Structure 1
């Protein structure tokens, strides 16, 4: 009967990049993004209203003033192009306010007398939307100052346009302050919501970072136990079980290598390594004869090559301990985007499903090691039919 042990397999997960949550008065990513988006839309809305108001101006103008109004509208259209392109820049706010104030002062020639004191005044519409849009582009004090300047220019233009200004001029002008105030409140609410979102993201990031640190600590503990199992524990067990009598020439070298590995753990960082070279070293140091069949060179990331060589060393030690044979076969091959390393023996074999859970150290330790580097391991065996340990890692 043939059985298999499949190890846990999961893609290699890099250690998370830690980000610093927003602190102090600096905006976070969400707040900063919403502020930029709000400013862009404020500029676009102001430009759209100005274009519509220009059309209303041509419709309202008397025949003798239509040419003059047309020139003003064309000039405002040209300015709108500049404003829409660069409107979020600070220096343009003063220039834009000056243009709108100048427009307010020309109401004597650009607005019909009967429209000066009511809501059909197209200049008032432009002035009001400008005051509203500026609240998204300035601080509260700057917004209040620019709004005051625009309203003052509008009321002054009404006075210059008529010796007897309409009664509705002042209320309509002052209503612009209310519109600007509502715009400021909306801006503050949006910014506060974005800041809360940033704080929530920061809290989640902190929780993720704490979980990642805890997972890294557990992984380090598992790696330490795996290294201990593959080195000193295996050597001591071989001596204690009588598999060796202490006179073998390789035993002292093996013990020295075990101590070296425990004292200085291998570098599992970046760079590539030749898997075949590492496996040659493992084969030479194995307690049994090993027949290695592989390509001349198999380059791969060093952390994967190191993990595979350690797993092969453990598998060969297990063959020497349990299989009842003095040799094993070690093969390396490519298979559909994967590198496959197999350790096979013709020993006594076993039935995997009948092995107690506490005796499955080989499959668990090798499987977990391969899973940590994005690979997988399979142990296949049957009674009197030998055993095969397959280690697979992706080529990418």
Structure 2
């Protein structure tokens, strides 16, 4: 639309259009159109300053219509300025929330009305103004619904990822418990086998002590099977999380380590979210997952070489980075997290000190 507006403006250069006014304003408009194209090709979010500049340029064009638009275009409401007003309203609605987009859209529509009145007080622009207001209402309603849908989807995916991690943790716990049960079973079975084979043909203090130990272990297992959950193999859990990262080749360097179950879950949730962000937003198909221990502190890092992001510009309804990574680790006693991101990629650092 920005490019077409320039073509339409050039083709519409008839009196009273002033080339001295039109040329510099179209040059600025072309510059802003090029910036929009660059952002589009980078597949990044629209910067707020870029949208604000677009609004300012459109408002300036609206107020200067007496020098830029022929009277015939003013009469029909088909000028290139009217088309830019539509696109500016749409862009503002996409980039900003309703509480900002609505007043901005009203300002742009009002500037269009004022510009036409300045050019010719007799022109009737009620129809065009009504169309702009309908466009403003439509884009605001559409984006409100989309943002709510995105937030709902994020919550669903976050809960599903959390449930998968819980299942993996429970599986590792059961595996460890089965190993313990197997060990106890084999010890008790060995004692009974020796008795059955007649190894002890007379009362034996050694046998009595062994049977007492076996009985104590079995009673403890019966009475408190889950009172003290076994630590989780963090490297095994993270390896499973990395294996579930869809569309991503994760290079892993995992140091064998066991941690409490709740700590393992926090690490797994943060890593899962970080890998999901790489797959969705980094523009690369490879990532690194490293775990290590240094000075008694367990560290986990997720890194990629894709396009970075600005944490300060994250939409408030995108919970993943703030909730599943930063808050999840920082709320863990002894835990923490930080994210560094730039032109050379993003690195998520997680740590926990027992």
| TM-score, normalised by the number of residues in structure 2 | 0.51
Aligned with residue 60 of structure 1, among 12, 35, 47: 12
- Equivalent residues of 2:59, 2:112 under 8 A apart: yes
Q: Shift of the alpha carbon at 1:212?
A: 4.3
One of 142, 146, 150 as aligned partner of 2:108: 150
Distance change (3 Å), C-alpha of 1:69 and 1:245: farther
Q: Does 1:174 align with 2:145?
A: no
1:77 and 2:43 matched: no
CA-CA distance at 1:255 after TM superposition: 9.1
Structure 1 distance, partners of 2:141, 2:148, is: 10
Where does residue 118 of structure 2 map in the other structure? Answer: 160
Give runs of aligned pairs for residues 210-359 of structure 1, distance below 5 A: 211-212=167-168, 215-216=171-172, 218-243=174-199, 269=233
Q: Higher mean Cα deviation, 255-264 or 222-231?
A: 255-264
Kept after mapping to 2: 8 A contact 1:136/1:187 = yes
Provide closer, same or farther for how the CA distance between residues 62 and 148 of structure 1 changes in structure 2, counting only shifts above 3 A.
same
Listed as ranges, the gaps of 5+ residues in structure 2 are 40-44, 221-227, 236-254, 259-354
Q: Helix, strand or coil: the match of 1:116? A: helix
State the alpha-carbon separation in 1 of the partners of residues 231 and 166 from structure 2.
25
- Bigger relative CO (Cα 8 Å, ≥ 6 apart): 1
Instruction: Tell me if the contact between 2:173 and 2:230 (Cα under 8 Å) persists in the aligned partners.
Output: no
Distance across 2 between alignment mates of 1:213 and 1:201: 18
Residue 110 (structure 1) aligned to one of 51, 64, 68: 68
Equivalent residues of 2:61, 2:81 under 8 A apart: yes
Checking the alignment, whether the CA contact within 8 Å between 2:109 and 2:132 is kept in structure 1 is yes
Q: Root-mean-square deviation (CA), in Å?
A: 4.2
Q: CA deviation at 1:141?
A: 2.2
User: 1:238-286: CA deviations, max 9, x gaps?
Assistant: 24422466999x9999999989999999998589xxxxxxxxxxxxxxx
Relative distance call for 1:216 and 1:251 in structure 2 (3 A) is same
The size of the alignment, in residue pairs, is 225
Distance 1:239 1:185 in 2: 80
Q: Deviations over 1:161-199 (max 9, x none)?
A: 1243x22x1220232111011011111222232233234
Equivalent residues in 2 for 1:183-202, closer than 5 Å:
183-202=139-158
Contact 1:235 1:255 in 2 (8 A): yes
Pairing 1:26-105 to 2, within 5 Å after superposition? 49-62=1-14, 65-66=18-19, 68-83=21-36, 88-105=46-63
Q: More displaced, 176-185 or 202-211?
A: 202-211
Q: 1:89, 1:96 → 2: CA distance?
A: 11
The answer to whether the 8 Å contact 1:58/1:66 transfers is no
Q: Provide closer, same or farther for how the CA distance between residues 269 and 143 of structure 1 changes in structure 2, counting only shifts above 3 A.
A: closer
In our comparison, the structure showing a higher alpha carbon Rg is: 1
TM-score by length of 1: 0.47
Output the CA distance in 2 between the equivalents of 1:93 and 1:266: 54
